Structures are given as structure tokens and as C-alpha cells.
A and B are shown apart, each in its own frame.
Chain A
Amino acid sequence: MRIVVDLNRCQSYGQCVSAASEVFRFRGKESLEYDHVPDAASDAAVRRAALACPVQAITLATATEEISPTEAAHR
């Protein structure tokens, strides 16, 4: 699972920290820190965190493909 948090939108309610404390944490009183690439064991907790966010600031990856650099761009 990969995630990103829109920290413009984030208002530090801390629901994500409650839902997945191994992925999200507060630094000081209001600064959210998080692991962009949490361990697969945290997937369910991360999904709960995203659902619980009152401002919907957490984006989860849904892509299934890997990025593979290509040589196919020759004109």
C-alpha cells in the first residue's frame, strides 16, 4: 500500500493516528507525520484511517501496474 496525505487539507484531527498509530503520528501538537509506504500488515488499518479522516485528506493507491521504464519511445 502506498499513501499520501494532502497536508493542506489535513486539520490534525488525529483520527488516522488512532486508527493506524504505526503509520501516522503527531510531531508536536499539530504536525502530522506518516509513512508513505507502510507495511502490508497495516493495510486494513490504513484503509480505516482513510475512511475515518474527517476532511478526506488521505489518498490510497489503487493502481495495480508496476512502473517499468520503456525503450519504446523511438520515433
Chain B
Amino acid sequence: MNTSAADRVVIVGASLAGLRTAEALRQNGFAGRLTLIGAEPHEPYDRPPLSKTVLSGWLGTDQVLLPRTCDLHAEWLLGVPATGLDPAAREVRLADGRAVAFDRLVLATGARARRWSDPAEAALRGVHLLRGRDDADLLRADLAEAVEANGRVLVIGGGFTGSEVASSCRDLGLPVTVTQRGAAPLAGALGEVVGSAIGERQQAHGIDLRVRTTVRRLEGDASGRLRRARLSDGSALDVRVAVVAVGSVRDTGWLRGSGLTADERGVSCDAACRALDAEDRVVDGVYVAGDVARWRHPRFDTGPVSFEHWGNAVDQAETVAHNMMSEDVRENDALPAFWSDQFGLNIKAVGMPAVADQVVLAQGSFEHGPFVAVYGRTGVTVGAVAVNSPRVLDGYAALVTERAPFPPVIDALRSPGRMVPVDSRIPHPVQELVTVLEGQS
């Protein structure tokens, strides 16, 4: 398209999606000015290790920096959040009062952890969120003290972040309680059938798992230090550290008044990553990538959702760069995929298990060893999850891609003799998916 050297591209968000967009633009020959704006003072780093290798003590937070695959010759404005967007003036406003002009703009501001609802309780020392590097440093320091004191950790929310935090805390030898509003951990993303199977393995690793339980109150001592949690089952727990892992909200507050369609569920865009206005019209020159993008995946008959997946950030970054640099408009139809490592389990999923109405065990055993479960929605295969079976997942991804009938015909090692689909027990309507993929409830 217009790729003259006078062209200025501004990318708001300097995490995986923003970095990969910048790299892909340069690799596609973009020769104009490139500016990356980041709210955090840190250069781009990888987030998945924060709840795993960082929290369990192997890596420092300065050891998870993302590699760059080309020289970007970019201007980096780090440690300064964007506070406003004026699409008519083609200008992004920053918290320090500066204004940055653009010809084309990429929104890649991601999401932040949902805060504990009571501000006074959230402010107690020992109450943590885990989203960024600084959060991880604070939590690690507190966990080190908890190890000394053998204090209990309370993880509020049994989604992926909460479960991985719980796993890392067990690695440190800490006693851990996890509360989960629904009937099973990971149920928002994988349903209660598979979530219960994983929950049993979590319990085998010593997690005190409290399902259908919420935290009513966090209580501190006179010095403002967390001491106790009151749970909805009437019990009280002495806890030294609490990690609030109840989902995330997309960082879109700064777009108020911009004319874009944006709320805490994301910025609306089409499958080509082009931002949409209130009438679903493409906003010229404004693109969206990563966790903050809310869009309708062309392979699935669902409403618009945001995917907080590492791979989605990468795929959308490439789509944005292509569509900026080329006359032909490419849609991103890459199959969603995500992973989690916890309690010695490698959990990998493809497709959209969270929209399924049925699930079937395709290989292995829910009780013992590796397994693969396949998800269906109105008779179509829409997803699969593999636990400790990463090498078989490609075959299941192919079934999702070709929209194979559900239950699919599987002729695999360790397949049960007869496959019996059951209700997947996904506890949320599809429209609310955005908030549950990471969340507790």
C-alpha cells in the first residue's frame, strides 16, 4: 500500500504482539518511521514463564526478554502509557503530555489482570496480581518469605494463571489452597469434564482445591499485612500470601471517545485485524493485534471473542504487517492454539474447546497417564486438548480444520473401544468467552 519513507507507523503496546508486528513490518520492507509505545518501562519480554520458571525460581525476570529477529530502527517510548487517541488528527496522546503523530496505527495494548474487588483488601501486603515483570518480582519476594515462615498461599481462581501459580508454589514447598467459583479448575476454557480430571491431578500434588467456593473477605493485621481469608463455605484460612487470578480486562480505557468500538472485552476488528467503528466499518489505517483484539474467527460460528493466546499475538502481528504492506487483504484464519505447563502436566489445546457442547475421550485415560479429549459443537469437531501427548495433537488440529463430524472417527493408539460423548459442561455462554478464558468464574 502506501509504504514511502515518509510514512510513520505507531504501535501502541510493546509486548509480543507489538514487537512481532514491528519485526514483520521491517521484514516486509517497511522503510518508514516506526515508533513503539509501551506502558511498562521494560523492553519486550515473554509473559508465559512468569507463572512458571520465574515463579518457581529458575529464571530471573531479566532472563525472559524476547529475542529480536531483525534491527528495527525504531523509536521506543517505554514506561509511558497512551492516554488518548484522536483518529481525525492522527495523533496518540501519552501520559506525560506528549502527542505522537501517525499515518497508520497498531493497537496492541493487551490486557491487565482483573483486580480484587475490594480496594482496601487488595491493598493489604501479601495480596498480589500476576501479569507483568514487576508483579512477578514482588510475588517472588513474598513467596521467599512465606517459605521461611511456612505460610500458606491462597490462589483465588483456578484458571490457567491460578493453576500455574499454584503449581510453582508447590515447587517451592509451600502449602497452597486454590478456590474456584465453578465446579472444576480450567473449566472456563476446557469444560468441567476435563477440568475435573486435571483438578484431581492437582489434588494429587497436594493442592487444597476448593471448588464451588469463593473468597468472601481478606483480612489483615494491624500493620496492614494479610493474615486470613474468609471463604464462602464458612471456613477461615490463615494465609500469608494471596494471588488474585480472576481473569483479565483488555486495556482499552484510553480509547474512550476515539470512535472505535472498544470496551473491557477488547477493540473490535475484522479477521484482517482492521479496527471497526460503531457501524462495523473499517477505520482507515488503524489495526489491532494480540490479546486486545476482539474479532470473529472465520473458522468458527461464534460471536467476536479475544484470544489471550501467545500464538494469536504472533499470527495477528503477521496479518497486520501483511495488510499494511500489500494491496491484497489477508484474513487471519490460523487455528487457535494454547498451552499450559503445571504439576508436571503438559496441556496443549487447539481450536475453541470453550464453545463446545460435547466432549469425548479419544485417547488415554482421564484418571491415569496421558489423554486426549476432543470437543464438538452441534455435531462439528471444534477443538481438542492433549495432556502429556504433544505429538498427537496435529492430527486432531486437522480434524478441527476440516470441520470433521463430531464425534470424529479415531483410530489411534490407546483409544477407548467405544467413544461416548458427554456434555462438555462449559459453564459460560459463548458471548462471555472473553472474560473466562483466563478467569476463575
Contacts and interface: CB of A to CB of B under 8 A. Distances in A.
Nearest to A25: B58
B71 A61 contact: no
Contact of B344 (A28, A36, A62): A28
A29 B343 CA distance: 11
A18 interface: no
A6 B311 contact: yes
Nearest to A61: B67
Nearest to B62: A37
Interface string A51-75: 0000000011111110111101111
Size category of the binding interface on chain B: 35 or more
A47 interface: no
B73 A65 contact: yes
A8 B49 contact: no
A10 B393 CA distance: 11
Interface string A19-35: 00000000111110101
B391 A29 contact: no
A44 interface: no
Nearest to B74: A67
A29 B388 contact: yes
B52 A33 contact: yes
B68 A73 contact: no
B366 to A, nearest CB: 17
Contacts of B393: 11
Interface string B329-344: 0000000011101011
Given A37-B64, A69-B78, A30 B43 contact: no
Nearest to A28: B344
Contact of A61 (B63, B69, B78): B69
Given A7-B310, A63-B70, A73-B75, A31 B59 contact: no
Contacts of B91: 75
A41 B55 CA distance: 25
Q: Is the interface of A mostly helix, strand, loop or mixed?
A: loop
A3 interface: yes
Contacts, number: 111
Nearest to A33: B53
Interface stretch (B95-103, B108-116, B399-407, B432-440): B95-103
Nearest to B171: A27
Contacts of B259: none
A31 B91 CA distance: 44
Contacts of A27: 341, 344
Given A7-B310, A33-B53, A35-B63, A62 B70 contact: yes
A48 interface: no
Contact of A63 (B62, B71, B100): B71
A68 B66 CA distance: 15
A69 B348 CA distance: 37
Most buried by B among A35, A36, A62: A36
B62 A4 contact: no
Interface in B381-438: 388-391, 393
A67 B311 CA distance: 24
B65 interface: yes
A36 B101 CA distance: 34
Contacts of B101: 75
A34 B101 CA distance: 39
A13 B70 CA distance: 28
Nearest to B350: A8
A37 B63 contact: yes
B424 to A, nearest CB: 22
A13 B391 CA distance: 8
A73 B36 CA distance: 10
B63 A65 contact: no
A8 B303 CA distance: 24
Nearest to B388: A30
A7 B339 contact: yes
A25 B314 CA distance: 24
Interface of A: 2-4, 6-8, 10-13, 27-31, 33, 35-37, 59-65, 67-70, 72-75
19 contacts: A3-B67, A4-B67, A6-B311, A6-B314, A8-B310, A27-B344, A29-B344, A31-B345, A36-B64, A37-B64, A59-B67, A59-B69, A60-B67, A61-B69, A63-B67, A63-B70, A65-B71, A69-B76, A75-B99
Interface of B: 35, 43, 45-46, 48-49, 52-53, 58-59, 62-73, 75-79, 91, 98-101, 310-311, 314, 337-339, 341, 343-346, 348, 388-391, 393
